[in-house]
Each structure stands twice: as C-alpha cells, then as structure tokens.
Structure 1
Amino acid sequence: MPTPINLYEQLANELDALIAQRVFAPGDKLPSIRHLAQQKRLSVSTVLQALRLMEDRGLIEARPQAGYYVRHRARMLAALPTEAQPLKEPAYVGINNTLMRVLKANESPQVVHLGSAWPPDELLPMRRVQKAVAAAARRDPALLSKVSCYETNEPAFTRQVVRRALDWGQIDSAEIVVTSSCTEAISLCLRAVAKPGDTIAIESATYFVLLQLIESLGMKALEIPTHPKTGASIDALELALNAGLVQACLFIPNANNPLGCIMPEENKRRVAALLAQHDVPLIEDDVYGDLCFTPERPWPIKAYDTSGHVLLCSSFSKAVTPASRVGYVAAGRWAQEVALLKMVSSGSTSQFFQAVLADFLNGSSYDIQVRKMRRVLAQRIARMSDAVCAHFPAACSVSEPQGGFVLWVQMPEQVDALALHLEAVEQGVAFVPGPLFSASGKFGNYLRLNCGNAWSDEIERAIARLGQLVHSHAGEGPRSVGRAA
C-alpha cells in the first residue's frame, strides 16, 4: 500500500506539474503565499513547506521582498563545459575556408539566424542616433567632406573615450588611434607587435575573427586553457611566458566570446604584471565590456597596466550602431606604430561618424542605453538557456554568460558540430560550430547560439528543431525532422 503524502508535498507536486506544462514559465512569479493558502485552503506554514521543497528541487527561487519565481532550467544543469587543455606546440591557424562556408550558409534568408552575433535592431537607439547625425551635419557641415590621411582622430570623440576610461583609470589621448571598427584595431595591433611566424597566445575558446586575423597574417596561435567562468588560466600563461613560447597575447577578458566569462580582477592584475616582467604585449579586446551583467562595469586589464604593454581595443558598435564602423585602440607604447599602420592601410576613419558618436556619448543617452541592453540581453540569454535545456539531450551543458549575448553549448561527444550544422541549415536553423573557435579544431561537439534577438515562436521552434537534430546525431532518435518555420 503506497505511503500517503503530506499536504505540502501534494501542493509542491501540483505546482511542479504546472511548471512542467509551462503554465508558469521560467522567470514567471508564482502566486503569493497568502493567495495560495486561500486558494488551496491550506495554512500559510503548509504553503511555505511546499515552496521550500520546490526550492530544494531547484525549480523555484526566492527573491527578497519580491516572492517566489520559476528558475531557468539552465541553472539545474550539473556541469559547465569542461576546461580546454593547452596545445603542446603553437599551431598555424586554418579555419578561414570552413568559416567562410559556414558564414555564407548562415546568411541565407531561409534560416532562423542564431549564428552571427549582431545586436538586434530593436535594441539599438536608432532614433537618438538619427538626431545625433542631423545635429552633427548642421553644426559642422564640413565634416561630411573632411578626409585626412594623417590625422585620423576627431578630438571630440577621443575626449569621450578618455572621459569614459576615468571609471577605471586614466589613458593618454596621445595613445588613442581611431580605427574603422574594433576588428581593424586588433589587426593593426597584431601587425605592430608581431611578425609572420610569431606565436600569439589566445584563449581557448576564442572569437573566430581573431583566429582569422592571426591566420591571414601568417602567425601561429597557442591556446591557453580557459575556464568557462574565470577565463584564461594565468598559471598556463605564465608557463608559456617562462618558456618563451609567445611573442604577444590576444585576450577577451570581459565577456569572452563565446564563453561569456569575466576574468577576475586579481587575475587581470597578475596578467599585467607578467606582461611587464616578460616584455610581452597584450592586445585586449574589450568590445563587450560595457555589456557585462555585473553590478559595476568590470575593469579591463589595461587598468592595471603601468608599463604600456596593453593595447586596449574597443568600439561602441554593439550598443549604438554597427554601421558607424568606428573603433579605437589605446595602444600604449605602440601608439606611433599603430598610427602609422592605420595611415598607410586605410587612412582616416569617418570623422563625421566620430562626431556623431561623440554627441551620443556626451550625456546620459549612452549610459541609459547600455543599462537597458544589459537587462534585456540577460533575460534573453536566460530564455535561450531554458529552451536549450528543454529541447536538447540531458547530457548537454551550457555556459552561464556574464555578459554579451551568445550562449556556448556542449553536446554529447559523438555529435559532430560541423556535420550538424550542414543538416541544421537544410532544416532552416543557423548557428556557429565550435571548431571555428579554436586554432586546432577543438570543440568538435560544441556550438554557439546568438541570443540577442527578441524571443519568438519562430526561435522556440528553431531551438526545438535543432534539439531534435542533436538527439538524432547523438543516437537518441530518428533524423527525419521538418524545416523550422
């Protein structure tokens, strides 16, 4: 004879079933304790016991002075993606051909775009930017035709860059070189600090465009093992530096793409000291620094640099407008070399759009914008995490991004992400396969998803379809699935 269950267990099971049926979806608030007690004709203490049982099961969480909320499923996963192991030897990068095929397929109008990590149009401040464009054109019409092969910087823009750096330190305007995107800034820095055949230390995994740049310049990459929460292993980096294996480093310490991790401040301080000790430059990609979900914006490694070894690269494209194509680098002791390379390779960056961005940055508009984006992007990442956990095999695990808007997913070992991508595109779903984030083809069973777009039924169906394919490739079901609508 089955053992009768208590009233609080009955209520907990009832609410569990409602969550499983998505009557209460992740992020939803449950009815208040008083309301549940009245509705179910139970005592307040019984309702509290039920809610605490559900907390123990990992289904809900209590928020101070706000009530109980349904937890996102991703928080219930047992493990994060495992830390990568370092290469024994530096390797030449060879991803360009595969990457171009993947990116071309991902741009098809017939697919749901979960690949390229562009900020969604509806989150960008287009009306405010339009006003700034009109104001700049009225104030100084000459900017519309102003071109210089020597002077690349618009003073109003560099002044705003220096002012914003005051939150974490001080940079000299003389070391700033304005570029045509953060990517160009990184490319110029690589050319300034290293030569073909040199080895660049990178995080593992890292953004595929950084690997493209290293490959195109004929350099080699040494992958530093990277933890999905704390970033690159400083011990491994120190070993590589002591052995003289690297001539430069290229890291994304704030909201690494694709992991979303933030390097702890103590680790940043240690990196800066190691670079000075070994006289090795660091190119720091900080393009996602303003879109971290921490209470305070995390400092870049540049904040701890007292020797000029850190070249800080960034832009405002992720939060304002990618179309402006304005980036910059605070190049430290390599400022003159970077400025010369900029002059001879592409001339000046649009001084008109520099003025437009300076106007946008001069005031509260930008701060309001990034606060909104942080809030919305954190919610969208949580929603995507929940959908992945609902539709992918239980053996999968996901990252817990601390910034940006991408999600890194580890699938069962037998799943080949490149083969999965070919089939997924045929079924109308695009993503970026994991091997493209490694110099040596690691992460064969990983994929990256763009979480920036507003959640919709179309995206929900796409994730469900992709989950079916992962199940199939993992040997857990048939491969006959339809196109994502």
Structure 2
Amino acid sequence: MESELLRYERLAEDLSGIISSGNLRPGERLPSIRRLSRDRRLSVSTVVQALRHLEQRGLIEARPQAGYFVRHVAPRRASPAARPTPVEPVPVDVSQRLIRVLLGGVQPGVAPLSAAMPASSLLPVAALQRLYSSVVRRHARLLEGHSHIHMDDPRLVRQLVLRSMGWAGPLAANEFVITNSCTEALGLCLRAVTRPGDTVAVESPGYYLMLQLLEVLGLRALEIPTDPHTGMSVEALDLATRQGNVTACLLVPNASNPLGSIMPDENKRRLARLTAERGVAVIEDDVYGDLYFGNERPWPVKAFDQTGNVMLCSSFSKCLSPALRVGFVAGGRYRAQLALHKTITSGATNPISQLVLAEYLESSACERHLRALRRTYERQVDAMRAAIARHFPAATRLTEPQGGFVLWIELPEEIDATALYERALAAGVAYVPGELFSASGMYRNCLRLNCGNPHTPEIEDAVRRLGRLIGG
C-alpha cells in the first residue's frame, strides 16, 4: 500500500509539473483542497501537506479565504455475461445492417430509443452558440491559419491537461492530438498500430461503431467476455494474448457501451501491465468518463499506464454537443504516428470550435453543467428501467449502469430481437438489436435502448408498445 508520504510527494510533484509546464500560470488558482482530495482519492491532510511543500518551495501562495495560487513559474523541464474463454478472431461485417437500423431510428414519428444521443434540451447549446459568436468577433483571423500546421489550439490542450489532474496525475501537453471526434481519434489509433488482417481484442458485447472501424480497416475482432459490472475480463484477455497474436485492445472501461459497466481500478491496473508486457497497444474510449453515477470520477486505464502504451480517446459529444465535432487523443508513445495520420487524413480540427470549447471548459459553468447532467442521466436510466419492469415479460433481465445513458436488455432465449425489429419500427419504436454488438452475431435475444431523452409519457408509451410486441 502506498504510504501517505509517497502520496503527498507524488501530488506535489504532479502540481509542480503542471505549473512548470505553463498550464497553471502566475496568479491562477489551484484546484481546491476538497476537489484534490476527491479527485486524487487522498486524505485532506495529505493534500494540505503537498500544498504546504509547494508553498515552501515558492511555487504557490495561500490567500486567506481564497485558496492557493501560483506564485511564479518554475524553470521548464522535460516531460518524461459472457463466455468464459475467448473464441477465434473473426472478420467483421456489421455496417450495412447497422446503417439500416440507425436510419430507421430517426424516421418521423419513431420514438428515439436507438442511437445513443442525448436530447438537445439537456445540453448547453445556447451558451455554446453565444461563445461561437463571441469568438468569431474577437478572433477575426482564425480562419486564415494553415490547416496542417499548428493543429492543436494551446488553450484547449491546456484545459485538457488541467482536467487530467483528476485522472491520477496530469498528462503531458505534448501527448495530445485534437481530432474531429472521438471516432476519428479511435480510427487514428487503429491506423497507427495495426495493419489489415491483424487481430484486435474487443469487448463482448461491445460498441458497434468500434466494430465498424475494424471492418473498414480490414481487421479481425477477438471478442473478450465482458461483465455488466466489472467490464472486460482481464483473465480472458490474459488467455487471448498468450500466443502473441493480438495486436491491440479496444475498449470502453468507464460506463461501457452497451453495458454501462465501470472496470475496477485493480482490473485497470492489471490490464495496463499485462498489455504493456505483451506488446498489445491499448486504445481506450473514455467518452462516458465524465458521466459517472457515483461520487468519484472513475480513472481511465491511462492513469495506470507506465510505458506510454495506452492511447486515451474522448470527445464532448455526449455531454456538451455532438455538433461540436471536437475530440482528442492522448497518444503516449504513439503520439507522433497519430499526428502524422491526422495531418494526412484531415488536417487541423476547426480552429473556431477548438477555441469555443477551450473557453467553455475554462468557465465555471462547465462543471456545474456536468454535475447536473450526471444526475439527469441517472434519473432517466432509472425511469427506463422502471418502465421495462412494468411492461416487458417477467423473465427479462437488464443492466444496472454505473454511468452513461444506455440500457442493455436480455430477453427470454426464444425471442429474436433482430427478427422483431421491423415490427417494432412499424409500431413507432426503434432500438438497436443485440447482434450488432458482436462481430460473431451473438446476443440475438438482446437489445439496447437509449435513455438520453427525458422520460416523457410518449417515451413510456413507446416502452409499453415494445413490451407488448415482445410479449406476443
């Protein structure tokens, strides 16, 4: 167990690094003692000891009733329920079926229960629109820049570094590549570390978009059993990687899609160590990381990465706006390859959107919004679970998500959710059949529902109609 002394020294070193890198500037306030204690999972006394150490070094100063502030910048330094065992890897072929399902879900008069999209009424759209107008007025020459040079806005990178303080320590600014979405980030990572025909370990059930990426890149999927509470089985991944035939591991450890599970810290630590030892690159989707239902933000696998082997991908599409089209990847030792692929394929992400996002993240409004949104999503998931209990067959089983806003439902074995889909769509209800979350077509008696919309009487009626169809 790490001693309190080592914990205080590590926190002091992390804060010193974030100051010396210029991401916390003279006169700026440090995170509060309570927030550091919560995010870093340290006692208040340990946090205070670290801050006093930095104060003695002349890096920060305490201001009565206001907190700790950066005093000066130190010299810059170098910035260092699933099957018990895996099956054979298989080619992926889900795109055409998935496109038909997603198009069906946006037809007029169809309840929005398929695509995992939040209701616009829950997002800070008006605030972002005001920022767009303000940024364009104040930075009239933003669109005159070169699209393949200076691609990452320094203010946005700085905010990402500051946010990573809550993930067990700040990531280095030079790790980040700003992308057009989390999807682009995932694709860049796969291109950087795989070649057509390679095998990639994925969660089972796992997010269908990841399967699509494997399909278009000519990669094979090796499905790893994934628990509704603890996520991908590290034991099964261990078995799957012993022969050296797996090139990468692609997963959503925090509020996974579709199960909503959060992998325990010890499992994340074991996964990071195992994959590093066996030369398996880890591509981590943390898009739901800020949408947890518990008291603490879950750390990503990246927090336990000691070798630069983990590439952390995310965006703000699920919590701020899908239309922003701004994501990022912290690429570890693969950063140079990621930046090269980004430069060649799409160039810089829209500079106006990057600056808008940076300014919103700088504001206190962002954290207030996220706190409220987490509570809202949790209520909506609970409401959907209650509705399913009222209207679906008694033998139905469903997950208890620990974050996010999707729900995975297992129907009685004899019910084929894929075969039922067209009838449900005709009745004005859409969902995503379970087989689309598996490269090998498993989970035909399962489906996923979106809980990203307020649970209105219309949503309740859609669940009732779907339950009646399922019950026959």
1:173 Cα offset (Å): 1.2
Aligned to 1:442: 442
The structural deviation recorded for 1:139 is 2.1
Alignment correspondent of 1:115: 114
CA deviation vs aligned residue, 1:225-260 (integer Å, no higher than 9, x gap): 011000011111111121223110001000000000
SS at match of 1:167: helix
Q: Is the 8 A contact 1:178 1:326 kept in 2?
A: yes
Instruction: Please state whether the residue corresponding to 2:415 is helix, strand or coil.
Output: coil
Equivalence map 1:358-377=2 (5 Å) = 358-377=358-377
Aligned to 2:136: 137
- For residue 291 of structure 1, give the secondary structure of its aligned residue in structure 2: coil
List gaps (5 residues or longer) in structure 1: 1-81, 473-485
Aligned to 2:216: 216
Aligned to 2:165: 166
Q: Distance in 2 between matches of 1:87 and 1:242?
A: 12
Over 3 Å counting, the alpha-carbon distance change for 1:218 and 1:309 in structure 2 is: same
Deviations 1:188-234 (A, max 9, x none): 10000111000000011111000000011000010110110000111
What is the identity, as a one-letter code, of the residue corresponding to 1:165?
A: S
Conserved in 1, the CA contact under 8 Å of 2:83 and 2:225? yes
**TM-score, L = length of structure 2:** 0.81
Query: 1:314, 1:187 → 2: CA distance?
Result: 12
Deviations 1:419-465 (A, max 9, x none): 11111001110011000001110110000000111111111111000
2:251 alignment partner in structure 1: 251
Give the aligned partner of residue 462 of structure 1. Answer: 462
Asked if the contact 1:398–1:408 (Cα under 8 Å) also holds between the matched residues in 2, the reply is: yes
Please give the alpha-carbon distance, in whole angstroms, between the structure 2 residues aligned to 1:455 and 1:384. Answer: 7
Q: Distance in 2 between matches of 1:200 and 1:298?
A: 25
Tell whether the 8 Å contact from 1:238 to 1:274 is kept in structure 2 after alignment: yes
- Residues 61-96 of structure 1: per-residue CA shift (max 9 Å, x gap): xxxxxxxxxxxxxxxxxxxxx334544210011111
SS of 1:393's partner is coil
Q: Which residue of 1 aligns with 2:271?
A: 271
Alpha-carbon displacement from aligned partner over 1:7-62 (angstroms, at most 9, x marks no partner): xxxxxxxxxxxxxxxxxxxxxxxxxxxxxxxxxxxxxxxxxxxxxxxxxxxxxxxx
In 1, the alpha carbon distance for the partners of 2:351 and 2:85 equals: 43
TM-score normalised according to structure 1 size:
0.79
In the aligned structure 1, how far is the partner of 2:123 from the partner of 2:96? 32
SS of the equivalent of 1:404 reads coil
Deviations 1:250-282 (A, max 9, x none): 010000000000000000011111111112110
Aligned equivalents of 1:143, 1:84: Cα separation in 2: 52
Conservation of the 8 A alpha-carbon contact between 1:84 and 1:227: no
Q: In the TM superposition, what are the counterparts of 1:158-197 in structure 2 within 5 Å?
A: 158-168=157-167, 169-197=169-197
Quick one: distance in 1 between partners of 2:377 and 2:440? 31
Q: 2:259 is aligned with what amino acid?
A: L
One-letter amino acid of the structure 2 residue matched with residue 158 of structure 1: V
Taking the TM superposition and a 5 Å limit, the aligned residue runs for 1:398-417 are: 398-417=398-417
Question: Structure 1 403/188 Cα, relative in aligned 2: closer, same or farther at 3 Å?
Answer: same
Q: 1:85/1:471 Cα in 2 relative to 1: closer, same or farther (>3 Å)?
A: farther
Whether contact under 8 Å (2:114, 2:432) holds in the other structure is yes
Gaps of at least 5 residues in structure 2 are 1-80
| Counterpart secondary structure, 2:313 | strand
Whether 1:90 and 2:89 are equivalent positions in the alignment is yes
Matched residue count: 391
Give a deviation string over 1:154-201, Cα, whole Å, max 9, x none.
Answer: 111111111100112121111211110000000010000111000000
In structure 2, the residue matched to 1:152 is 151
Question: Is this contact kept in 1: 2:85–2:239, CA < 8 A?
Answer: no
Q: Is the 8 A contact 1:120 1:452 kept in 2?
A: yes
Q: In the alignment, what sits opposite 1:15?
A: none
Aligned to 2:10: none
- Residue identity in the other structure for 1:460: E
Cα-to-partner distance string for 1:384-424 (whole Å, 9 max, x where unaligned): 00000110000001100011000000001111111111110
Match of 1:28 in 2: none
Q: Is the 8 A contact 1:260 1:401 kept in 2?
A: yes
RMSD: 1.1
The SS at the match of 1:113 is: coil
Letter of the 2:165 partner, please give it.
L
Contact 2:198 2:220 in 1 (8 A): yes
Deviation at 1:361, TM superposition (A): 0.3
Compute the displacement of 1:335 (Å): 0.5
Query: Which runs of 4 or more aligned residues in structure 1 lie more than 2 Å from their structure 2 counterparts after TM superposition?
Result: 82-88, 144-147
- 1-structure distance, mates of 2:242, 2:354: 41
User: Residues 147 and 107 (structure 1 numbering): CA distance in 2 closer, same or farther, change over 3 Å?
Assistant: farther
Q: Distance in 2 between matches of 1:447 and 1:234?
A: 25
CA drift at 1:293: 0.8
Q: Equivalent residue of 1:343, what SS?
A: helix
CA offset digits 1:350-390 (Å, max 9, x no partner): 01100000000003111111111110110000000000011
Contact 2:316 2:326 (C-alpha < 8 Å) held by counterparts: yes
Contact 1:177 / 1:330 at 8 angstroms: preserved in 2?
A: yes
Name the CA distance, whole Å, in 1 between partners of 2:237 and 2:223. 9
